[in-house]
Amino acid sequence: MGDDLMNLGRSGYARLVLVSAMGMGMTTVGCSGGDVAGTLGQLGEGVFRYECVEDSDARCNQTSAVDTFEVSSDIGVDPELPTAVAVGARFDLTYVGDTVTDDGEFLIVDVEPARNDLVTHSGGFVIEAAGTFAFLARNGPKRIVTDFVHVDAFVATALDVWHLEQKVSSVTLDFGQETEMAVVAVSDGGIALAGALPVTWSSSDASILAVGATGETGMPVEGVEINDDEVRLVAVAEGLVTLTVTQGEVTRDIAVTVSPEVMP
């Protein structure tokens, strides 16, 4: 929480009066009192909180593959809004803050985009084009906006692949080694992009390098789709393979060399 105080330009705390944010099908109810982390709205009435809706969102990366200090400067930490999201990627926003009028009326607010021709909502928001998009905490029937925030969206044009907190284009693994890698979509300008885009990982030769879901143990089962920004690798046998990751419309190949087995 202390770290968030250092980022007042983008984050802040809202003194919770009473919260009810119904985010277009999702209801978030908080309790009175206490501070809430997130990104302060433009009117200072509350905070907007970013939420991942799928495992493939690098914003909620769980492994140590990624140097979160470097990535977090772009993607963000905790529920702060990221620097930007990827066009076509799924994410969600909730609002926590003051929703009481001067007359003492308590409002139910939805988080909704200012324009809904390029921002859709289906299990999360999806921004369909590059640009800057306002999200409003709004009570439509009463035409009241309690606060708002802007989110930037860029097209993902490249993928950074991370291993042991380093960006890599090739790796060498020891025979039998198990490790993790992660992928982060980036824009033309190199901004790490948040949001869930469909991800696939594949090895050109599963008999040399097997790929599986993080958190599992044992030999990964070949052919299982891993729609996650993180992947578990098992070096099965000596050789050279290509690890391919595709996220959205972008593909990246990583050369993986498995060293020979060391005989005792």
Partner 1 sequence: MRPATNPHRALQLALALALVASSAGCSSEYWVDFTYVSDAAPSVLVDSDRIEIPAGLAVGVTATPVEDGERTGLALDMVPVRPGIIGIDQALEERQWVIYGISAGATSIELWFAGELVGEMPAVVTEQHAPAD
Interaction site with partner 1 (CB under 8 A) = 42-43, 45, 84, 98-102, 113-119, 129-134, 136, 138, 143-148, 150, 152, 154, 187-191
| Sequence-ordered alpha helix ranges (H) in 17-160 | 68-75
Structure tokens at 212: 């599986």
| Min separation Cβ 18 and partner 1, Å | 13
Which letter does DSSP use for residue 58 in this model? Answer: G
- Closest approach of partner 1 to the CB of residue 168, in Å: 23
148 vs 162, beta carbon nearer partner 1: 148
Q: How crowded is the C-beta side of 88, counted as CA atoms within 13 Å?
A: 12
Closer residue to partner 1 (CB): 130 or 237:
130
Helices (H) and strands (E) in the chain, counts: 1, 21
Residue 167: Cβ within 10 Å count: 14
Q: Which is nearer to partner 1, 116 or 122 (CB)?
A: 116
Q: Please give the DSSP secondary-structure letter assigned to residue 4.
A: G
Give the sign of the dihedral formed by CA 94, CA 72, CA 202, CA 164. negative
Q: In this complex, which beta carbon is closest to partner 1, that of residue 6 or of residue 117? A: 117
CB of 24 to partner 1, least distance (A): 17
In the complex, least distance from residue 86 CB atom to partner 1, rounded to whole angstroms: 11
